[in-house]
Amino acid sequence: MGENTGREVELTVERIAHGGISVGRLDGRVVFVADAIPGETVRARISDDRKKSFWRADAIEVLAPSEHRRDHVWPVASIARDPRQRAGGAEFGHIALSHQRELKRQVLAESLQRMAGVESDVRVEQLPGDHAANGLGWRTRIRLHVDDEGRIGPMASRSHTVIPVTDAPLASPAVQAATPFSERFTGLGTVDVLAPTVGDARLVLGEQKPTVISERVGERTFRLDDTGFWQVHREAPAALTAAVQAAIDDAAFDPRAANLDLYGGVGLLAAAVGDRFGASTRVTSVEADERATERAAENLAEWVGAAAVTGRVDRFLRELEQSASAAERARLRAATVVLDPPRAGAGTEVMAALGRLSPAQLVYVACDPVALARDVALAAQHGYRLARLRAFDLFPHTHHVEAVASLVRD
């Protein structure tokens, strides 16, 4: 850290940036400010001045508040606390819910315009129940960390410091009730608490061996490991199922084609495709996690044409390119490909391979707007354009936003 670390400055923040931080300027230098809202004037403390091009700072006092500022939904994360002692995981908790969605919209639209040259009037849709609950009580899973004294809590933002807490207001009532806030856990790194839709809430302590749970989405039940990936918001699996089904162009869908569900997890979106287009649907789910693939095979068993393959997506596509016969390539060109990559996105190699295989349409589920915009630009190099885009507030009181993009060949 340099000589400016710890210095307190007055800043007027201008706009929101990717990652949920606001942007201000100090003597012409960009300063990324946590816990401020665009339009506000704040007193901020410089936390990192190592870069020549920008500094980082934390708001410590609001001098001219935004009309959208609210009391923080989680006092342990509020601006009243020392920045080093603010709980992470609710970085938009001081902003009115409707304005949170507007800020997320701005980041998504700006990313698409800047990186892909695409103008978008996308809006961020709220999920059922969130307005009435003020964006609280939606998390069906939380991960808490253990400090040196055995107390549990989240880490502070951009830090490995554990902040002990006695509540978790973003968690569902069942998760909150099952969380052992007052207990001590020595020798453990993490404590996971989850409340599946089937059965009781449970704890997963440290590297505990996984057990199988069930989650219901509409009339369908999915089996998965309690340590495995599942959408966190109580309404997210149903919302994404419906969004993916709506994002597929019926006219371009061929149930007999070599349809793919990449980064498929336990088969949620492959099942969405199968439910939308019927018993004859062919779809292959590709997932790197072997245990998730085993669960996907069970969850997709009713479709004779469904399969679940364990493998990294980039390697799977590379082998497909190398080994596909002329008939298989034709089925791939007729295919619909659903992909739900991790936060880093699909990336250059995967998007290039998809471009060469040239499926009829791509339905891209994204949890990071910048990664999505980059991949939309990469797809454009292979003749795909963004035909439809929806965005969902799957993570109220955080900066995260989910998007579902339809990419079609011109």
pLDDT tens, 337-347?
999 999 999 99
What confidence tier does 1 reach under pLDDT thresholds 50, 70, 90? Answer: low
Give the phi and the psi of residue 110 in degrees, each rounded to 5: -65, -40
Measured between alpha carbons, how far is residue 315 from residues 283, 311, 334, 343, 351 in Å? Answer: 18, 7, 21, 19, 13
Measured between alpha carbons, how far is residue 310 from residues 26, 263, 307, 315 in Å? Answer: 50, 10, 10, 11
pLDDT (0 to 100) of residue 12 = 97
pLDDT (0 to 100) of residue 32 = 97
Residue located via tokens 């998504």: 108
Q: Is the pLDDT of residue 121 over 80?
A: yes
Q: Write the CB contacts of 210 (distance below 8 Å, at least 6 apart in sequence).
A: 204, 225, 226, 227, 228, 291
Of 309, 251, 316, the C-alpha closest to 277 is 251
Q: Can you tell me the mean pLDDT for 31-53?
A: 95
DSSP three-state, residue 231: coil
Of 96, 97, 169, the C-alpha closest to 393 is 97
pLDDT (0 to 100) of residue 3 = 82
pLDDT tens string 374-393: 999 999 999 999 999 999 99
Q: Is the pLDDT of residue 157 over 90?
A: no
Give 182 or 159, the one with higher predicted confidence. Answer: 182
**Which residues belong to CATH 2.40.50.140 in the chain?**
8-69
Residue 263 labeled ligand binder: yes
Vertex 306: Cα angle to 244 and 368 (nearest 5): 35
pLDDT (0 to 100) of residue 158 = 81
Instruction: Catalogue the active-site residues.
Output: 367
Q: Is the pLDDT of residue 172 over 80?
A: yes
Q: Can you tell me the mean pLDDT for 180-189?
A: 94
Measured between alpha carbons, how far is residue 240 from residues 59, 228, 290, 321 in Å? Answer: 35, 18, 23, 29
Residue 340 labeled ligand binder: yes
Residue 287 labeled ligand binder: yes
Length of the chain: 410
The CATH topology of domain 104-130+216-409 is Rossmann fold (3.40.50)
Domain 8-69 is found in CATH 2.40.50.140: yes
* Tokens encoding 117: 């040259």
DSSP state letter for 95: B
pLDDT tens string 290-333: 999 999 999 999 999 999 999 999 999 999 999 999 999 999 99
Q: Can you tell me the mean pLDDT for 97-124?
A: 97
Q: Is the pLDDT of residue 175 over 80?
A: yes
Q: Mean pLDDT of all residues in the chain?
A: 96
What confidence tier does 373 reach under pLDDT thresholds 50, 70, 90? Answer: very high
Give the phi and the psi of residue 173 in degrees, each rounded to 5: -55, -40
Residue 314 labeled ligand binder: no
* Tokens encoding 310: 């364990």
**Which residues belong to CATH 3.40.50.150 in the chain?**
104-130+216-409
